[in-house]
């Protein structure tokens, strides 16, 4: 049978004070240049525990702060021995100066990031112009003189050749708060059914998105239109109305010219509306609108 008596106490491993975190303690030499003799445990040596009144309680383990401070101190003493020759006051001043420089650099970086443009990815080039549409039915253009005598059919598509736009049209109404609805898709535009049909007397209103998180909207390049550009609106009966741009304006949403956009006019006109200007991330919307004013060509 094996040994069944009391088990011998396991020796406590103690590290050298200056090398407690470094494996190099295994190669420490004795002062005379020879390897220290290995310690031999003598089972006959029994140390009686102290029981006198001067017995000290076991010290608690060091706190993490002390361990970290000791570790940094040992590391700097090994890797940066020149620091030990620097006076403490000067070392403290250097440390404070380095901290202030780090804070200044960080603040400068944050300010630069805040002022830098939000769009880091280059936008695609403006679309190439497309051919002007032709209508199979006559008359292709409803003359202004006949606009009051001949009612126009509902619009079904829109084309702006100079900016490469060709889109179907959906019907738009009003929201519960009285504002204009917007198309559910950024790839199509919508005709406001509360406005006249394109080609009849009054200002017909067509709206579309400028962009979204997924990319550019159908009216993104609306801001590039210039007076004289042509806009084509196709209707359900196969006829087509052609409008000529007279003005392109950027207006603040809180100063929107409601009367100029929706108000009565004596001739057949067209209004194209989208968002523009600065995008307010806190509100999740643009602060301005782009409005294109156009008149029926006759």
- Between CA 247 and CA 191, with CA 138 as vertex, the angle to 5 degrees is 45
- Going by their DSSP bridges, the two strands 165-172 and 189-192 should be labelled as parallel
Domain count, the chain: 1
Q: What is the pLDDT of residue 243?
A: 97
Domain contains 96: no
How far apart, in whole angstroms, are the C-alpha atoms of residue 100 and residue 78? 26
Q: Residues with Cβ < 8 Å from 82, sequence gap 6 or more?
A: none
Which domain, by its residues, includes 238?
A: 144-296
Domain contains 108: no
191-200 burial, b if ≥16 CB within 10 A, otherwise e? bbeebbbbbb
Nearest to 197 by CA among 297, 140, 135, 269: 269
pLDDT along the chain (298 residues), means of 10: 41 36 40 48 52 56 71 70 65 68 67 51 80 66 48 93 97 92 95 96 97 92 96 95 97 94 96 94 91 91
Domain contains 180: yes
For residue 216, give the CATH number of its domain. Answer: 2.40.260.10
Ramachandran angles phi, psi of 48, nearest 5°? -75, 135
Domain contains 83: no
Q: What is the pLDDT of residue 137?
A: 46
How far apart, in whole angstroms, are the C-alpha atoms of residue 160 and residue 108? 46
Q: What are 187-205's pLDDT values in tens digits? A: 999 999 999 999 999 999 9
Domain contains 193: yes
How far apart, in whole angstroms, are the C-alpha atoms of residue 47 and residue 117? 76
Q: What is the pLDDT of residue 52?
A: 53
Q: What are 112-155's pLDDT values in tens digits? A: 555 544 444 567 788 899 999 986 544 445 554 444 445 789 99
Tokens of 230: 């042509």
CA distances in angstroms from 101 to 51, 56, 88, 89, listed in the order given:
57, 48, 20, 18
DSSP string, 88-144: HHHHHHHHHHHHHHHHHHHHHHHHHHHHS-S--SPPPPPPPP-PPP--SSS-SS--G
Q: What are 243-264's pLDDT values in tens digits? A: 999 999 999 999 999 999 999 9
């Amino acid at each position: 049978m094996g040994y069944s008596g009391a088990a011998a106490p396991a020796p406590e491993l103690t590290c050298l004070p200056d090398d407690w975190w470094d494996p190099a303690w295994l190669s420490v030499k004795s002062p005379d240049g020879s390897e220290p003799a290995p310690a031999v445990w003598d089972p006959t040596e029994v140390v009686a525990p102290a029981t006198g009144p001067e017995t000290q309680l076991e010290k608690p383990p060091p706190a993490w702060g002390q361990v970290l401070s000791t570790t940094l101190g040992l590391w700097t003493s090994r890797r940066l021995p020149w620091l030990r020759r620097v006076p403490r006051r000067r070392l403290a001043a250097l440390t404070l100066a380095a901290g202030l420089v780090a804070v200044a650099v960080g603040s400068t970086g944050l300010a630069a990031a805040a002022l830098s443009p939000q769009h880091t990815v280059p936008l695609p080039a403006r679309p190439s112009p497309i051919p002007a549409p032709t209508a199979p039915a006559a008359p292709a253009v409803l003359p202004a003189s006949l606009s009051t005598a001949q009612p126009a059919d509902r619009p079904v598509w829109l084309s702006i050749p100079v900016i490469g736009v060709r889109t179907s049209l959906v019907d738009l109404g009003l929201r519960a708060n009285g504002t204009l609805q917007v198309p559910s898709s950024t790839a199509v535009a919508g005709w406001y059914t509360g406005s006249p049909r394109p080609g009849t007397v009054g200002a017909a209103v067509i709206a579309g998105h400028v962009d979204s998180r997924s990319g550019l909207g159908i009216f993104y390049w609306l801001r590039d239109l210039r007076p004289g550009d042509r806009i084509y609106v196709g209707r359900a009966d196969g006829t087509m109305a052609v409008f000529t741009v007279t003005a392109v304006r950027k207006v603040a949403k809180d100063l929107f010219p409601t009367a100029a956009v929706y108000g009565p006019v004596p001739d057949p006109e067209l209004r194209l509306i989208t968002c523009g200007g600065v995008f307010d991330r806190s509100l999740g919307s643009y602060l301005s609108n782009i409005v294109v004013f156009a008149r029926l060509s006759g």
